[in-house]
Amino acid sequence: MSLPLISPASGGGSPSPGTAGRGVSPGGGPRGGLRGRPRGGGTRGARSPLGALFVTPYALFLVVVFAVPLGYTVWMSFHRFYFTAPGTEVDAPWVGLRNYQDVFTDPVVLRSFLNIAVFLVINIPLTVVLSLVLASALNSRVPLRSFFRAAYYLPYITASVALVAVWGYLFGTDGLLNHLLGGLAPDPSWLVNSVLAMPVVAVFVTWTNLGFFVMLYLAALQSVPRELYEAAGVDGAGRVRTFMAVTVPGVRHATTLVTVLAVIKGSNLFTEPYLLTGGGGPDHASASPVLILYQKGIEQAHPDFAAALGVVLVLVVVTLSLIARRLTERKGA
């Protein structure tokens, strides 16, 4: 017997043509998020003087910490600029797209974007699949469930430096893995191998962040109605079929969130290559754009180049996030 098409949206997923799709979300609020909010409510809030006063500190925070630096970064990226002592008058001539031209013709920068592409190709599918599978397992009644939940979350809250030391021990030339592999160990070893260094970093980051994404999926799984699983059981669906037809569509919004966050986190990669591969080695094979941004802007005192690279990176991340969102949400359309 085939399973009837049950819209997962009835349990809190995306809106569907069904009756449940127009109902209320599990939290009791209006479905559809901000899009579904009555316009009047928003306007009333904006007109409240007290509300405006309450908002002021956060608005100030946004302006000082985000808007001003972002605007300044864009300005820097179109000028020949360097940092000087306060009160020093220096020329910062307009150079148009020169800094961007330098960014796009720098082989190390291009390599770093290629590295990030490799990273994301490995990291995102691994993150989504592993965290969903683990969350599903930890959502069921398994022995020592709380222990396993804590165990998977532990790397996420442990200092990167400590985790890097463990991975250095595992993947070093004299590391545990090479001892186990013996003659099958790669030569040069993992972290100094220009082909393997970035995949090792990608797997490392997947492992460290997995706990966070498992938590997101666990939260999403709470909102998938038990009735859907019961209905699937009545229809004779096996575990895999139930997982694919109920669980996966039921947590689609969480998948979008996980994917977008993984893209953003991956694109901001810095600590791991900085510590694990000796600053993006070997020979820039694991360098990330943020690492190059730091090296150019801080180590080599070229903030204008770094600003242009930062702007390019922001555009790339926004584009990738939009694509990820479109892809993950289209599957359920």
Partner 1 sequence: MLRKTAAALLLLALTGASTGCARTTPDSAAASSSRGPVTVWLSNNAQEVAWGEKWIAEWNAKHPRERIKAQKIPAGKTSEEALSASIVAGNSACLVFNTSPASVPQFQKQAGLVPLDGFPGAEEYITARTGERAAQYRSEDGKFYQLPWKSNPVMILYNKKLFAKAGLDPEHPKLSTYEDFLASSRKLVRSGAAKAAIWPAPSSEFFQSWFDFYPSFIAETGGRQLVEDGKPRFDTPEGRRVVRFWRGLYRERLAQQELFPGDSMAAGKAAMTAAGPWAVAAYKDSIDWGVVPVPTSRGVPASKTHTFSDEKSVSMFSACENRATAWDVLRFATSKRQDGALLDETGQMPMRPDLLKTYEGWFEKNPGYRKFADQADRIVEVPGVAGSVDLWQALRDRWTASVVFGRERPEPALRDASEKVSELLDEY
Q: Site residues (CB under 8 A) for partner 1?
A: 49-50, 52-53, 55-56, 59-60, 63-64, 82-88, 90, 108, 165, 168, 172-174, 188-189, 191-192, 194, 278-284, 298-301
Comparison of 84 and 319: residue with beta carbon closer to partner 1:
84
Min dist CB 114 to partner 1, Å, is 15
Min dist CB 92 to partner 1, Å, is 13
- For residue 220, give both structure tokens: 């999403």
Comparison of 90 and 244: residue with beta carbon closer to partner 1:
90
Comparison of 287 and 311: residue with beta carbon closer to partner 1:
287
Comparison of 103 and 260: residue with beta carbon closer to partner 1:
103
Min dist CB 174 to partner 1, Å, is 8
Comparison of 139 and 178: residue with beta carbon closer to partner 1:
178
Min dist CB 101 to partner 1, Å, is 14
Comparison of 230 and 283: residue with beta carbon closer to partner 1:
283
Min dist CB 294 to partner 1, Å, is 9
